[in-house]
Structure 1
Amino acid sequence: MAPTAKSPTPHAVVVGGGIGGLTAAVALHRSGWRVTVLERAASLEPVGSGISLAPNAQRALDVLGLGDDVRALAAWSGTGGLRAQDGRWLARTSSTAAARAFGGSLVLLHRSTLVDLLVGALPADCLRTGAAARLTDPGGAGRTAVVSTADGDIEADLVVGADGIDSAVRTALFPAHPGARYTGFTAWRVIVPAPERPFEPHETWGRGGLWGTQPLKDGRVYAYGTARVPEGGRAPDDEKAELMRRFAHWHHPIPEILAAARPEDVLRNDVRHLITPLPVYHRGRVALLGDAAHAMAPTLGQGGNQAIEDAVVLAHHAAPRGHLPAALAAYSADRVPRTTAIVRRAARTARLNHLRHPALIAVRDTLIRAASRLGPNLIMKGFASIADWRPPQAPYAAGTNTPTGTGTGAGTQDRPATRR
């Protein structure tokens, strides 16, 4: 009897080559899928500057064999914390205490560094840049999904919509959803050389906005500022001048950071979020992840972290030749409660750190200082309930494409959490 021909390897198409899409591609590739990543931009130049990876995302990257590479980039040592606009410390902690509370260190790195790590874990022929894509058929139990590109249609056993906050894939699946809404504040970001005078890493909550100054492993500094302003605004001259007007009178090292910034290096973006949650993150043979599924305010530092979690959980459930409808339903059941809770908590935190009324600011700062004096764990407890997430049992061994187990994932470690 002639041997039975092997069925072709199932094909997953990832629409979007950002951090969530690339992580999904790596995770699916390692679990046995043939993967194609379609990125509309001509090159993978990450939008934004820095990204903070908390222990929850690092554990997800452990599943892909990349967690230790990220941990090696940790730059924070010593003390740091939360400050008032005039420089007074509202709450202080140390990198050691934070690692103890969160189950690991917080690692700030340039987005391009993380993109390079992820691309390096993919086959060279799976990534197509300059490839705008449109979902024309989400597929179903009896048919493949179809993604259209300028070079023709691509049939896929699984499509991953990782095309960002204005996701066309999401719109195709949920046309009645209202989409992203303005949070009420805009954000500026910049990376500059470290100032000569030493400083402790900090986030400063002022009137109607905040500022953060954080070190990178390469000796530079990632800084960011936010302010409550009308949507769509731009500086009359340049964005560095706007930052100078808003923040140059704040405490050290903020004036030095601004002095070192070049106008062309300052990024400004209005911050939007999906405050109306999706009912599920899948339809047909399509799964959404990252900002396409649950864009959130950056006030908890969890946007990219949650996209990384999504990717690993999706690959955990979606075995290449498994029952895809059940797999995608399990993925939604795992991810919707947790990410919805974090989106809402991020929005509440944004309102808190963008207060404008002096009396409300005074009350807020007094409560933070009081909680800090009672014990740093009170300040860090909320974020610890996010950072202690652990991925479901991996269906494949690190460094291989060999399945090693099934696990359930649903309702085990991926529980709803709250604060940064």
Structure 2
Amino acid sequence: MRVLIIGAGIGGLTAAAALHRTGAHITVLERTPALTPAGTAISLAPNALRALDTLGVGDRIRDLAAWQGDGGLRTPGGRWLSRSDARSAETRFGGPLVLLPRTTLVDTLAALLPPDAIRTNTPATLTDPGDATRPAQVTTPQGELEADLVVAADGVHSSVRRALFPDQPGVEYAGFTTWRLLLPLPGVEFTSHETWGRGRLWGSHPLKDGRVYAYAAARAPKGQRANDERAELQRQFGDWHAPVPQLLAAARPQDVLRHDVHQIAVPLPAFHRGRVALLGDAAHAMPPTLGQGGNQAIEDAVVLAHTRDDLHAYTAARLPRTTAVARRAVRAGRLGMLRGRGTTAVRNAAMTALSAAGPALFLRGFDGIADWRPPYAAQQTTR
């Protein structure tokens, strides 16, 4: 089987590695000059780690990552609303929640492919999705390519999705923007946390290599940008509890990445057409509020490798699940972005009461998500 994969992000590389294991001939087409993943770090839940186990790299990722779960939810003044611990997370879901740099995951996945499988600086355009009697066709600056299967992993603003489903509404602005940082913070110790304010939130998490991954979100008009995004973070979050001020003091303006959040509000009718399959954000872009965007792309990839000869089965397996996860992410985003004084006070009181009555809300949010298992046997892990 000849497979073309458009996009060398986490979903595209996972699909490439999974399909390569089935004996397919893989070519990955990446428009950027190098494998430079967007973003800073990625959280992997047990569902994605079990998918990576099928590629034989799950334990390697567990070893390279910081295990999450210790921490919880706080107010800007530092009061804990909900607490959780890593052992409870591992017991609840049959495995850990981990955090690692995106570059580490990308490098690990790329190493599973033949040296000539990835073509960088190669933008690709779908010109024919193909059907049962003819191959799909893709145009690149180097010429036309044919394939038995095209995997579109070309992101939130996927051109392939628009070509396959031109009548679909596509993505819409979720109503808030995000910032991300990855930087060293020597001498400052803290517990992982996510902090919810009024229409704003912040998260800080230590990585295994000693650096800190931090992210923020706030309601903002679509497309709004500041001349100095670090100064904008200082303005919005500078008086929040430690280690937020210390992180902002250590950051440089060039350390801050900012992106508006977009989501597919109306689910697609299918994740395939002809010989083309959509994967990851191209199929089901969702807010990052559950940290499941990349995880669902990894799930997509291993399922697609299992159903490569029957794309209807791929759609049947993935469309209902990702739609449900995306809807939960939207609801979580609305909850975190509440900004009325009364509504946020009620929200915080309810979260404190619910947390006291049972497992932490942080863990409950992954019920029905993190317990997913691949549709076929994974390699035995050493743990």
- Give TM-score, length-normalised by structure 2: 0.97
Question: Per the alignment, do residues 195 and 363 of structure 1 end up closer, same or farther by CA in structure 2, a change over 3 Å counting?
Answer: farther
Report the CA distance between 1:384 and its aligned residue. 2.5
The equivalent residue for 2:173 is 182
Report the CA distance between 1:102 and its aligned residue. 2.2
One-letter amino acid matched to 2:82:
A
1:21-79 C-alpha deviation (Å, 9 max, x unpaired) = 00000000001100000001111101110100000000000000010011112324683
Q: How does 1:36-51 map to 2 (within 5 A)?
A: 36-51=27-42
Question: Out of 339, 344, 349, which is 1:361 matched to?
Answer: 344
CA distance in 2 between partners of 1:270 and 1:163 (Å): 17
The equivalent residue for 1:268 is 258
The equivalent residue for 1:254 is 244
CA distance in 2 between partners of 1:397 and 1:68 (Å): 10
Q: Secondary structure at the match of 2:240?
A: coil
CA distance in 2 between partners of 1:13 and 1:291 (Å): 18
1:343-397 C-alpha deviation (Å, 9 max, x unpaired) = 1111111010001101100100001000111122565233131000000014x97
Report the CA distance between 1:105 and its aligned residue. 1.1
Q: Secondary structure at the match of 1:224?
A: strand
1:155-211 C-alpha deviation (Å, 9 max, x unpaired) = 100000000011111111001111111000000000111352321100001111100
Instruction: Kindly indicate whether residue 44 of structure 2 is the aligned counterpart of residue 80 of structure 1.
Output: no
Instruction: Kindly indicate whether residue 195 of structure 2 is the aligned counterpart of residue 204 of structure 1.
Output: yes
CA distance in 1 between partners of 2:70 and 2:217 (Å): 23
Query: Could you tell which deviates more after superposition, 53-62 or 170-179?
Result: 170-179
- Give TM-score, length-normalised by structure 1: 0.88
One-letter amino acid matched to 1:138:
P
Q: Secondary structure at the match of 1:245?
A: helix
Instruction: Kindly indicate whether residue 278 of structure 2 is the aligned counterpart of residue 295 of structure 1.
Output: no
The equivalent residue for 2:109 is 118
Percent same amino acid among aligned pairs?
Answer: 61
Instruction: Kindly indicate whether residue 364 of structure 2 is the aligned counterpart of residue 381 of structure 1.
Output: yes
Larger Rg computed on CA atoms: 1
1:285-311 C-alpha deviation (Å, 9 max, x unpaired) = 000000000000000000000000000
The equivalent residue for 2:138 is 147
Q: How does 1:393-408 map to 2 (within 5 A)?
A: 393-394=376-377
Contact 1:12 1:159 (8 Å CA) reproduced: yes
Q: Secondary structure at the match of 1:376?
A: coil
Query: Could you tell which deviates more after superposition, 212-221 or 71-80?
Result: 71-80
Q: Secondary structure at the match of 1:385?
A: coil
Report the CA distance between 1:99 and its aligned residue. 1.4
Question: Per the alignment, do residues 91 and 125 of structure 1 end up closer, same or farther by CA in structure 2, a change over 3 Å counting?
Answer: same
One-letter amino acid matched to 1:22:
L
The equivalent residue for 2:315 is 332
The equivalent residue for 2:276 is 286
One-letter amino acid matched to 2:350:
L
Runs of 5+ unmatched residues, structure 2: none
Contact 1:188 1:269 (8 Å CA) reproduced: yes
The equivalent residue for 1:132 is 123
Q: Secondary structure at the match of 1:211?
A: strand
